Chain A
Amino acid sequence: MAAYIFRRLISVVPISLGVLFVTFLLFRVIGGNPAYRIAGKNATPEKIAQITRDRGYDQPYFLNFKDFPQKLFQAQFPRLVRSILRGDFGESITNKMRVSELLRAGLLPSLCVTTPLFLLDLCLAVGVALLAAYYRGTWIDRSLVVGAVMAMSVSEIVYIMIAQYWLASEWRLFPVWGFEGPQYVVLPVLIGVVAGVGGGVRFYRTVMLDEIYQDYVRTARAKGVSPPRVLFHHVLRNALIPILTNVIVALPFLYTGSILLESFFGIPGLGRLLVTSISNGDEDIIFAETFIGAILFVLANTATDIAYTWADPRIRLK
């Protein structure tokens, strides 16, 4: 088991390097000199040349063969790898703050919104999915599914705009903007649940139905176990593995936060940071958020695999 965990953890390294390489390729190579995007549309050539020099964009991409071999790694990619290993993601262009500081500052507000959102969404989705699976094939099941699909067919932006305008602004049930207390996250969380629960219901219902047609369920029914007990005792426990996967893989999104909710409601989290960075052309922040999001996803995936083998030892043999 220890060897397996070790092997899985080692495999994080090539994927992380790959992610770093892809993001590097995207921002520095395919996108051309980032100085053009940073400087904005009406920049003078001098400004662009200055940004290029200051931020080292004039160096070779991968290896530097000038003065071989002393300066071999004085190139953009090796320098990026080195600074990221040190936890340094550069600095913001707009306010000269360290990107790592900005990310740290944004983490807590993001978690304040996404954690309750995530938990509420999960409980509601699993609950409704169980209900649909219990009444499978009847009109209750069908209307729950259609309702779930309807809920996920409206853009989250529209939910936010309508709720913010009517519930918060017109009827004054919730604060419209800001982050000064628990009451400020209530409406964003509710909107997030309404917008997100549909997909969860659909997924978990499929998971439950996959289990319901298994032989052990038929055996349990033949033994005389009551339908609710089959559902909660047998089906739900076996469905826990796919549910667990879905949950763990969704965890990194707690970090990215809800981009839309945060920026509409003025919550100073990572999502809002991303939106302002895009409009300011603050490249280092976009890069850092993309990269960290990916690394967290890879780690979560690995954790899922390990959790799998712990939950079901048969998987290790495959």
Chain B
Amino acid sequence: MNTRVDRPESLWAIAWQQLRRNRLAMACLVILIVYTSVWLYAEGTFWFARLRDVTPAYKVSNYAIRNQPPSTAHWLGTNYAGRDNFGQVVQGTRIAFEIAILTSVIVIPLGFFLGALAGYFGRTIDTVIVYLFSVVGSVPDILLITAISYVVRGVVERSPSMQTVTRYIDSGLLAVCVGLGFTGWVGLCRIIRAEYLKHRERQYVLAARSLGASNMAIMFRHIAPNVSHLIIINFSLRFPGLILTEAVLSYLGVGIANEPSWGAIINDAKQRLWLGNWWELAGATAAMFFLVLALNLFGDALRDALDPKLRTAEAGTV
């Protein structure tokens, strides 16, 4: 056996080795790479049309070919306005990723920063932050998300200063992301707080402090790299939930209305399923299914690979 001891392996290197051995996780990773490419392609076509002020292809109606079943020209048929369903589903991928990213813009800074403050300083700051996330976490998620999206939508649509923003971001998309963001930070905040509580007692923190490092430096330069993997795990396990919630919001009427998100496509397909037009539903459902499945399974594998506690547990036997 080869016993080179030149450099200790990093957490990420060990995790990657374990992930590589997991065939299911690798298959999921391939699926995720495919979805990411589709997203980048859709984002490209969207901005190409937007910056030139032309109607993007997926929004052009063609009433001569409406509600057609799948054919070689239109793999998933066409919808009520004669738009190609496959193109709609591709744009739906873009929306799904945009929701994940825009939501994370709220969740990660808020959850991480508040969690770090609470866990590191303790005492009053901790009490206040714990109170804050207990309050927000008390409202059943779907109710709070609905309420926030409902209210934010009203604000965005009425205020003139938001017009510049909504020229680039759909007002429904913005409302949904604000709703998902201001409820989603609670989970991350809890995890980060618990980690900081543990890490602040560790020796390396004591060493840094005795060398005169400031609180900010200890929090963000010394401890943060040791807990940053939790952000990625949290993201990959939160993402599938966002996709499924978005579909519910579309149905409730507080979701995305003017862009073909998967939830909006499914909601649109509702009436025409009764006419036997199954293809509209099938496309968005399948797209959603494989992404959510791959994210869930990959997220699980990632967590197992990055969390050493579970890794030793797997080796144990009864």
Contact = CB atoms under 8 A, between A and B. Distances in A.
Contact of A32 (B135, B155, B269): B155
B140 A252 contact: yes
Nearest to A255: B140
Contact of A155 (B136, B150, B288): B288
Nearest to A28: B151
B244 interface: yes
Contacts of A260: 248, 251
Interface stretch (B1-9, B42-50, B55-63, B141-149): B141-149
Contacts of B150: 37, 278, 286
Contacts of B244: 155-156
A219 B305 CA distance: 28
A293 B147 CA distance: 12
B155 A213 contact: no
B229 interface: no
A149 B139 contact: no
A37 B290 CA distance: 38
B154 A37 contact: yes
Interface string A16-46: 0011011100110011100011000000000
A150 B288 CA distance: 11
B143 A256 contact: yes
A294 B154 contact: no
**Range of interface residues on B (Cβ < 8 Å):** 35 or more
Contacts of B253: 275, 278-279
Contacts of A162: 281
B24 A146 contact: yes
B248 A157 contact: yes
| Interface of A (DSSP majority class) | helix
A263 to B, nearest CB: 8
A135 interface: no
B289 A154 contact: yes
A18 B133 CA distance: 10
A19 B136 CA distance: 7
A237 interface: no
A23 B318 CA distance: 49
B292 A153 contact: yes
Interface in B123-167: 131-132, 134-136, 138-140, 142-144, 146-148, 150-152, 154-155, 158
B296 A297 contact: no
A23 B147 contact: yes
B135 A18 contact: yes
B143 A293 contact: yes
B293 A30 contact: no
A36 B158 contact: yes
B318 A155 contact: no
Contact of A26 (B131, B148, B254): B148
Contacts of A212: 318
Contacts of A165: 273-274
A233 interface: no
A114 B18 CA distance: 41
A294 B186 CA distance: 15
A221 B132 CA distance: 45
Given A149-B297, A158-B266, A278 B318 contact: no
A153 B293 contact: yes
B285 interface: yes
Interface in B143-201: 143-144, 146-148, 150-152, 154-155, 158
Contacts of B139: 19, 22-23, 290, 293-294, 297
A157 B273 contact: no
A21 B138 CA distance: 13
B293 A150 contact: yes
A152 B266 CA distance: 17
B64 interface: no
A217 interface: yes
A14 interface: yes
B66 interface: no
B115 interface: no
B293 A149 contact: yes
A256 B147 contact: no
B154 A36 contact: yes
A221 B318 contact: yes
Nearest to A148: B296
A26 B147 contact: yes
30 contacts: A15-B134, A15-B135, A23-B139, A31-B152, A32-B154, A36-B154, A37-B151, A146-B24, A150-B293, A153-B289, A153-B292, A154-B288, A155-B244, A155-B266, A156-B244, A158-B266, A209-B313, A213-B313, A213-B316, A259-B142, A259-B252, A274-B143, A275-B253, A279-B253, A286-B146, A290-B139, A294-B140, A297-B138, A297-B140, A298-B138
User: What 7 A-B pairs have minimum CB-CB distances, sorted nearest first?
Assistant: A18-B135, A31-B151, A153-B292, A153-B293, A294-B139, A155-B247, A293-B140
Given A30-B151, A37-B150, A156-B248, 6 more contacts: A37-B154, A155-B247, A155-B285, A161-B269, A217-B318, A290-B140
